[in-house]
Structure 1
Amino acid sequence: MASFPADPALRATRAWPFEEAAKVADRASVAKKGGALFETGYGPSGLPHIGTFGEVARTTWVRRAFERMTGLPGRLIAFSDDMDALRKVPDNIPNAEVLRANIGKPVTRVPDPFGTHESFGAHNNARLRAFLDAFGFEYEFASSTDYYTSGRFDAALLRMLERHDAVRDVILPTLGPDRRATYSPFLPIHPKTGLVMQVPMEETRPADGTVVWRDPNTGERFETPVTGGHVKAQWKADWALRWYALGVDYEMSGKDLIDSVRLSGQICRVLGGEPPVGFTYELFLDEDGKKISKSAGNGMTIEEWLRYGPPESLSQFMFQQPGRAKRLYFDVIPRAADEYLANVEKFRASGDPANPAWHLHGGVLPNAAGSPITFTLLLNLAVAANAETPEMLWGYLRRHAPEATPEASPMLAQLVERASTYYREQVKPKKTFRPPTEAEREALLDLAARLRANQAAIEALPAAERPAAIQDLVYDAGRREPFLQPGKGPAKDGEARPGVSRAWFSAIYQVLLGQEEGPRFGGFVALYGIPETVALIESTLEKGAVAA
C-alpha cells in the first residue's frame, strides 16, 4: 500500500499529472483492484533513447500524482516487446552480419552481436534496465518473450482466438486489398526456421486452441498452438492483448500512434476489456522546426544532453507542456536548467504541488537541490573569462562568491562542470561579436566609469545587495539616446526617471560577450568582478572598430 494518506484536494491542482491522475482514479477497475497499473512500452531492436526517458518520466509523474491523490498504490511496468521480429540491422552495431543472418526472428532468438548476453534482445533489455536504474525510476521490468512463453498471456490469446474474426473486422478497413486478404492478429513462430511468420490463417480452431497455416515457400502445412509462446500477436493486437491481459489503467504514447491507440482500444473492447486512460504527447522538433528523425540524424541523444546539463534539466524540459511540440537542440539546455533552479526556489518557499519541482522530486525536495548561481550566469562567466575548464570557473567563484562551494551545493558543482563543457564545445566555436555603434560605445564607457567610481561603495555592501546596486548603474549608463523609454523607469529621490529599452542590454551582450542575450548584467558583474568587467569593456572598445 501507499505510505501516505489520500489527499483528494490535489484533484484541484492545476498541473497536468494531477489532471491525468484524476482520470485514472475515476476508473471502476481501479476502485475494484485497490490500485492502478501504469505501463510504458519499449521496442528492443534498438538502444534506449531520449524519448524512452521522456515516456517513463512522464508516466512516473502521473503515477506519483495518483498515489498522493488517492492513497492507493500504483505500479509501473516497463514492457519490452522483445518477441518482435528483427526487421533490419540497426546502425552502429558491431558484427552486423550476425544480425543480418537472423532477420525475421524474435530479437530474443537473435545472437548478441556484442557478445555479452544470450541474445540481442537480452542485451538491449539490459541496457534499458541500466538506463532506467541510472535515473532512479521505480518500475517492474516485463519481457514479452517471458510473458508469452510462461503462459501469462495464454488466457488472453485463447480469448483472441475465440474473437478472431471480430478482431480482424477492426483492422481490415485500415488495410489495402492485398494485406486485407492475408491479415490475422496471430503471427506463428515457424517451428523449423524460428521466423515470425506473417501469413494468412487457413483455419482457426478455438476448441483446440490452435491455428492452421501454410509455409508460403515450401507449401508445408502447420497446426500451431496460440499458447506457450508459439505465436505472437500483430502490433496493434499485441498492444490490446497486453492491456486486456494485465489490466493496464494508464499508458501514454506519441502523436504518431494516435490511430494505433484507437484501433488497439477497439480490439481491447472486442476481447472484453476496458482500454487504459491514454495521453498523447507531441513529438520533438529540431532547431529548424523539422520533425526529429533517427535516419536524418537531426536529433539529440540523452548522452549529449547529460554532457551539457544535469538530469534535472532534462526532466524539467520533459515536464513542461508535453502536449505541445518542442524544439530539442542544444540551446534549450541552459534555459531548462535555469527553469528548474527557479522552480526549486519557488517550491522551497511555497510547497505548491503545481510546481514542476514537486513532481520531479516526488513531493519532497532534497536539501541539496538548487544552486546559488544560475547556469546561464556561469555560461556568461565562462564566455567573459574564456573558462574552458571547471577549475577556471571555480577560481572566479572562490574569489567573488566564496560561499558557493561544491560541498555546500552539489548541484552547483554539476553546473560548473557542464557549463565549462558547454562553453568549450557549443558556445566558443559559435561566438560572434559585433562592433558597437558610437552611441553604444559612449554608453559602455560611461558604464565602465560608473563601475570604477562606485567599486568601493558596492564592495562594502552585503554580497546579496551588490547585484541590484550594480544593475542600477547599468540602467543609469543606458539612460541616453537611443535607449530611452520615457515614463517607464522607477522613481528615484521623488523624481520619475525614463526607462531603458531592451536594445541597451542586447548591445551589452552582443558587443562584450558575443551572444544575443543573458541574465541580469548586475549579477554577472558581481560574480565576474568589477575590475574584471571594467577591463573587459575597455579592452573590447580599444579594438577600435565602430559599427556604421
Structure 2
Amino acid sequence: MTEFDPALLAAAQTSKAWPFEEAKKLLKRYPDGKPGGAPVLFETGYGPSGLPHIGTFQEVLRTTLVRRAYEVLTGGAPTRLLAFSDDMDGLRKVPDNVPSRDRLEPHLGQPLSRIPDPFDAGFESFAAHNNAMLRRFLDRFGFEYEFVSASERYNSGAFDAALVGVLTQYQAILDIMLPTLRAERAATYSPVLPISPATGRVLQVPVEVVDAAAGLIRFTDEDGQVVEQSALGGQAKLQWKVDWAMRWVALGVDYEMYGKDLTDSGIQSGRIAQVLGGRKPDGLIYELFLDENGEKISKSRGNGLTIDQWLAYGSEESLGFYLFREPKSAKSLHVGVIPRAVDEYWQFREKLADQPVEQQLGNPVWHLLGATDPARGGAGDSLPVTYGLLLNLVGVLGAGATRDQVWSYLGNYIADPDPARHPALDVLVERALAYNRDYVAPTLVRRAPAPGEAAALRALDAELAALPEDTPADALQTLVYEIGKHEEFGFAALRDWFKALYETLLGSSQGPRMGSFIALYGIANTRRLIAEALDGAG
C-alpha cells in the first residue's frame, strides 16, 4: 500500500476539488473498504463507431483523477480502471470522416468488430483500428488501465452467465423498459439482439426466450425464417441500456461517469442492474463539449477536435488542464481555446510549489501530475515565455518562420536560449509555428494607423531609438504606458492605444504585453515594424 504524508491525507478529507468530492462517494459506498480487500473498479466506455475524439479521452482522464483521489483518501487502497469498448454494436450509419465509405455500406448492421478496416491499416476490423487509436493516445499520456473488448467478452463466453441472468429476468427487464418507449418501438423491442446467421447483422426483432438456463432464444430472421439459436458465445448481444447494466453487474463496476445526454439511460440501466442482482455504480454526470457553433460534438460527424489536432497546436498538459476544469459546465472545444489553455496550465503550475497543501489540492496541476509525491512532475516549473507571446512573435515573422528563427529571437528575452535546456518551450515553439501557419497567418491584416495613432507611434519610435537592445521588458512596458497617457494623441483609454498597437503592428485585435513583445522581438526590429506601419499611414 502506498504511503502518503499525514498532512496530505488530512487535507484530502476536507478538499472541495471535484475529484475528491467524487471519490468520497466511494467512501460512502464502502465505509470499511471493498469486501475481501478487492480493488475498487472504475470503468469508462467507448463506442468505436467513429474515430476517437477528445470527448472519449476526457472520460479516461477524469475517471483517473477520481481514482487517484480515492487512493489518497484511503491511504492507497487498491483500484483498477477498465477502458471498455462497445465493439459488438452494429454499425448504424457510415461515419462521415472515414475513407472508402462505400466499402462500409454492405456491412451496415454488422458488429463493428466484424467489419473490415476501411483504413487498410493492417487491423482485423473497423473496431480494432479505432480501438488501437484510442489506446495509442491513452498509452502516450501514461494512463494505467486495462482495455476490455465487448466482442472478446461476448465471443469467449465470459458474459454467458450474465446473459443467462438477463434471459431469466427477461420480463422484469421488459417491465422497466417498455414504459419508456414509444408504442411503435415498444412493439418490436427486445432486451436481446440476436445476430442473424444468414447476414451477420445485429437484429432489432422480437425475441422469445425458449430456455433461459440454456441460453436458447427464438426469433424471425430478415428472410422470414424462424430461427432457434443460442444467445451465448457471441451469437447475440444486448440492447444498449441492458448491455450497460449487464456489464456493471458482470464486471463488478463501482464507478463510471457519463455525459448529461445519458442521464435517463443511467436511471434505467441502474434499475436493470438491480433486477440482475447488482448495484448501479457511483459516478459523475458531466456536461457535453460543443463545437465553435455551439453544437454537440459527434464522432460520426467529425465536428469536434481529434486528440491529434489538439497536440498539433498545444501540449498534452494543456489538454489535460482544459478537461479538468468544471466538468459539470458545458465547454466549447475547438482550436481557438488551445492557446489560453496552454498559458493557464503554466500559470497554475508555477504557483504549485509555493502553495500550502490545502491549496495544492485545489490546483488542477496537482491532479494532472498525479501529485501523490510532492516531488513528482517538477512542481513550480515555469515557462520563460508565454505561448501567447510566442504566437505574436511567430505571427510577425510570418507563415514561413522556422524553429531556428524563433529561438534566435528568444535569445533577446532569456539568458540561455538553448532548446535542450527548455524542452517544454521547444515543444511549444513547434506548436506555435503550426498554429500560426494554419490559423493565425491567414487572418492577420495590419491596418494603417489613424493620425493620432501615427503620432503616438512616432513618439514610441523616438523613445525606443534612445534605448539599448537589452532594455528590460518592464521598462519597455512602462514606456508604452506613458505614451498612451498623453492627451495629445487622443486615446480615450489605454486599451485603445494597445488595440492600435496590436492592429497596426501585429495585424490582430488582441495581443501580448507590448513591453514583453518588444523585448522578445528586439527594439530594432520593433522600430522597423513601426516604420512599416507609418509608411502605410501615408
Compute the TM-score of the two structures, normalised by the length of structure 1: 0.89
Sequence identity of aligned pairs in percent? 51
Cα deviation for residue 379 of structure 1 reads 1.0
Q: Is the 8 A contact 1:483 1:504 kept in 2?
A: no
| Aligned equivalent of 2:125 | 119
1:37 aligns with 2:45: no
Unpaired runs of at least 5, structure 1 = 461-465, 486-499
- Whole-Å Cα distance in 1 between the matches of residues 16 and 464 of structure 2? 45
More moved, 440-449 vs 1-10: 1-10
Is residue 162 of structure 2 the alignment partner of residue 160 of structure 1?
no
Shift of 1:321: 1.7
Partner of 1:377: 389
Cα gap change, 1:250 to 1:404, in 2 (>3 Å) = farther
Give 1:346 deviation, angstroms. 0.8
Give 1:21's match in structure 2, choosing from 20, 23, 29: 23
Tell me the residue number matched to 2:106.
101
Q: 1:92: how far off?
A: 4.8
Residue range with higher mean Cα deviation, 175-184 or 236-245: 175-184
Q: Which residue of 2 aligns with 1:47?
A: 51
- Aligned pair 1:523/2:516, yes or no? yes
CA 167–328 in structure 1, closer or farther in 2 if over 3 Å, else same: same
Q: CA deviation at 1:133?
A: 1.3
SS in 1 for 2:354: helix
Question: How far apart are residue 290 of structure 1 and its match?
Answer: 3.3
Partner in structure 2 of residue 169 of structure 1: 175
Answer whether contact 1:30 1:36 (CA < 8 A) is retained. Answer: no
Aligned to 2:89: 84
Q: Any idea what the Cα deviations from partners look like across 1:315-352, whole Å, max 9, x if unmatched?
A: 12111222222222222111111011111101133261
State the Cα distance separating 1:30 from its structure 2 match.
7.9
Aligned equivalent of 1:412: 425
- Please state if 1:56 is matched with 2:60: yes
Residue 346 of structure 2 is aligned to residue 346 of structure 1: no
1:403 aligns with 2:396: no
Q: For 1:33-432, what aligned pairs fall within 5 Å after superposition?
A: 33=35, 34=37, 35-70=39-74, 71-113=76-118, 114=120, 116-224=122-230, 226-293=231-298, 298-350=303-355, 352-363=360-371, 365-367=376-378, 370-386=382-398, 388-432=401-445
Normalised by the length of structure 2, the TM-score is: 0.90
| Gap change, CA 1:150 and 1:357, over 3 Å in 2 | same
The superposition leaves residues 473-522 of structure 1 with CA deviations (integer Å, 9 ceiling, x where unpaired) of 1111111237778xxxxxxxxxxxxxx63222222212211112222211
CA RMSD of superposed structures (Å): 2.5
* Distance of 1:67 and 1:281 partners within structure 2: 22
- Asked if the contact 1:286–1:329 (Cα under 8 Å) also holds between the matched residues in 2, the reply is yes
Alignment partner, residue 507 of structure 1: 500
Give the 3 Å change call, closer, same or farther, for CA 30–315 of structure 1 in structure 2.
farther
8 Å CA contact 2:48, 2:131 repeated in 1: yes
Q: Is the alpha carbon distance of 1:349 and 1:98 closer, same or farther for their aligned partners in structure 2, counting shifts above 3 Å?
A: same
Residue 101 of structure 1 aligns to a residue whose secondary structure is helix
Please list every run of 5 or more consecutive structure 2 residues that lacks an aligned counterpart in the other structure: none
C-alpha change, 1:88 and 1:42, in structure 2 (3 Å) is same
C-alpha separation in 2, matches of 1:192 and 1:9 = 61
Instruction: Say if 1:153 and 1:29 are closer, same or farther in 2 by CA, change over 3 A.
Output: farther
Moved more, 136-145 or 121-130: 121-130
In the other structure, the counterpart of 1:459 is 470
Count of aligned pairs between the two proteins: 523
Letter of the 1:197 counterpart:
L
Distance, in Å, in 2 between the alignment partners of 1:189 and 1:29 is 43
Alpha-carbon spacing, 1:154–1:29, altered in 2? closer, same or farther (3 Å): farther
- The question of whether the paired residues in 1 share the 8 Å contact of 2:449 and 2:537 is answered with no
The 1:410/1:292 distance shift into structure 2, 3 A limit, reads: same
CA distance in 1, matches of 2:100, 2:300: 20
CA contact under 8 A between 1:37 and 1:74: conserved in structure 2?
Answer: yes
